[in-house]
């Protein structure tokens, strides 16, 4: 099994990629999605306010394991220190917070970095992925067989995904040195500012 990962500035692009992965034969249990929710675009029975309030402590406020109808039917709210409130589903989210029985149980201080590196992502790249989610992005990660690896890389490397090296350079140009789980989560204003700055010119 290989791990392939893609970062997206737009949740819909990430969601489309998840759908393509599932359509290509990757089981939804082998796919994970973690999306920033600082703008409260996702409301899980009104719990988005609680997610924002619990962000610094890393308290879990929802289930994160994919449901029988596909990965995205299992979306739930949780919070990751340094990232803030996120909408997540799948094995990466579960690993990052030590989920038990499908429910979030506790904080994920630095857990997203550990979960990524444990699955084969380099620590250097894991920091950029985590920071990308902190700044409003959506991370899609899949464990795939060797036979599906090239196709999964193509899906997650599509035009609308983030060029990781370019994004790393942008972050570093602003003085960033690595993901800090103790950092304050981005506000909705900061997320929109970053999205505008990173938007491709028409």
Q: State pTM to two decimals.
A: 0.79
Cβ-contact 120, 61 below 8 angstroms: no
pLDDT tens digits along 87-116: 888 888 777 655 333 334 334 434 788 888
pLDDT tens digits along 6-16: 999 999 999 99
Angle between helix 164-173 and 123-134 (nearest 10): 70
pLDDT tens per residue across all 202 residues of the chain: 899 999 999 999 999 999 999 999 999 889 999 999 988 888 765 443 333 333 333 333 333 333 334 555 567 888 777 788 888 888 887 776 553 333 343 344 347 888 889 888 999 999 999 999 999 999 999 999 999 999 999 999 987 899 999 999 999 999 999 999 888 888 889 988 888 887 755 4
For the chain, the C-alpha Rg in angstroms (whole number) is: 15
Q: What is the pLDDT of residue 155?
A: 94
Neighbours of 193 (CB within 10 A): 14
Edge-to-edge strand ranges of the sheet holding 138-144:
2-8, 138-144, 31-36, 84-90, 76-80
């Amino acid at each position: 099994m290989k791990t392939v990962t893609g970062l997206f500035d737009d949740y819909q692009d990430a969601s489309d990629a998840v759908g393509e992965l599932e359509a290509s034969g990757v089981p939804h249990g082998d796919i994970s999605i973690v999306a920033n929710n600082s703008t409260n675009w996702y409301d899980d029975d009104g719990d988005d306010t609680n997610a924002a309030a619990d962000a610094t402590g890393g308290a879990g406020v929802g289930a994160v394991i994919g449901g029988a109808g596909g990965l995205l039917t299992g979306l739930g709210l949780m919070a990751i220190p340094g990232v803030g409130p996120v909408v997540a589903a799948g094995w990466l989210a579960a690993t990052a917070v030590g989920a038990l029985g499908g429910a979030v149980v506790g904080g994920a201080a630095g857990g997203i970095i550990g979960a990524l590196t444990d699955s084969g992502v380099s620590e250097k790249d894991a920091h950029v992925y985590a920071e990308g989610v902190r700044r409003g992005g959506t991370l899609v990660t899949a464990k795939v067989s060797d036979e599906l690896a090239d196709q999964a890389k193509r899906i997650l490397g599509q035009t609308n995904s983030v060029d990781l090296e370019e994004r790393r350079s942008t972050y570093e140009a602003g003085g960033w040195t690595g993901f800090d789980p103790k950092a304050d989560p981005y506000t909705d204003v900061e997320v929109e500012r970053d999205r505008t700055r990173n938007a491709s010119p028409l």
